[in-house]
Structure formats: C-alpha cells, structure tokens
Structure 1
Amino acid sequence: MTETSKKTILRSEDMSCPSCVKKIEGALCALDGVSRAQVYFNTGRIEVEHDPDKVAPARLVEVVAKAGYAAKVSPL
C-alpha cells in the first residue's frame, strides 16, 4: 500500500462458485484508483486497496453490484 492508499473490506454472500472471484477482482481492478483487489470465496471477504481520493467505498460496492453480486462495506 502507498501513503495515499486505503484498505477497504467488503462482504458478499452472493458468490456461488470460484469463478465469481475472478469476475469481482477484474471489475474492481479495472477502476482507476484501485491498486489491488483480493476476493476470498470461502469467507465472502473482499479486500480492496485503493486511493480514497479517486474511489470511495460506496463506488466499490456499486462496481461489485454491477458485476452481479451484492456487497457491503465491512469493518476491518
């Protein structure tokens, strides 16, 4: 993580198969300002490192929703 980056944790219970992981990671990593996205299929945890000046947590939730999965911001 850089000085300006922030880690946001999302949770999703909508994932039904491991291929969902790549779809969500790809959608998040395509956003300008996201440096890393890692999805944990077994727990529904989505970790996103991003520049909060470019991408707000609410936008991350929107992108996951557009990929077809409900998600919400979770405390660390």
Structure 2
Amino acid sequence: MTTNTTLRSDEFSCPSCVSKIETKLNGLDGVDNAEVKFSSGRILVDHDAEKVSVKELVDAVAAVGYTAKPSAY
C-alpha cells in the first residue's frame, strides 16, 4: 500500500541539491517516487510504509547533507 509523505526543508538552494535528494530517496527500497518542490521547500514521497519509514526518509535526506522533517502539508 502506497503512503504519501510530505517532508519539509528550507536548506536546499540549487538544482544540484534537488537532484541529490531525489536520487537518494528514489534509490531506497520501497520508494515509488520522490519529488522535490524547490520553490515551496517540500519533498513529496510516495512509498510503501511497510518497507521504508518516515524516519528512514528523513535519515536519507540527512545522508546527503540536508535536514528535513515531516510536514502536514
């Protein structure tokens, strides 16, 4: 079952940052699609919550040098 999670980060400032985050998240087992919305600071992730948790998503963003936190919208 696919879960839609929105993360928020105000730290990325360039297209390269966006690419790093999307590549890392999309490489995780259980992530169907991850898309960074540069202008709003949102990271939209469609994932299987049984395979990858929100904490693992946040940790993956941290692994490429950025801070993210879950957001209600």
Same fold (TM over 0.5): yes
Q: Percent identity?
A: 52
Q: Specify the alignment match of 1:9 in structure 2.
A: 6
Aligned partners of 2:64, 2:26: CA distance in 1, in Å? Answer: 12
- Name the SS for the 2:51 alignment partner: coil
| Separation in structure 2 between the aligned mates of residue 73 and residue 59 of structure 1, nearest angstrom | 11
1:42 Cα offset (Å): 1.0
After TM superposition, the score normalised by the length of structure 2 is 0.96
Give the aligned partner of residue 40 of structure 1: 37
Normalised to the residue count of structure 1, the TM-score between the two structures is 0.93
Aligned length: 73
Please report how far the alpha carbon of residue 45 of structure 1 lies from its aligned counterpart in structure 2 after TM superposition. 0.4
SS of equivalent residue, structure 1 residue 26? helix
- In structure 1, runs of 5+ residues without a counterpart are none
Unaligned runs of 5+ in 2: none
- Say whether residues 1:51 and 2:48 are aligned partners: yes
- The residue type equivalent to 1:16 in the other structure is S
1:69 alignment partner, one of 56, 59, 66: 66
Deviation at 1:19, TM superposition (A): 1.3
- Aligned to 1:21, the other structure's residue is in SS state helix
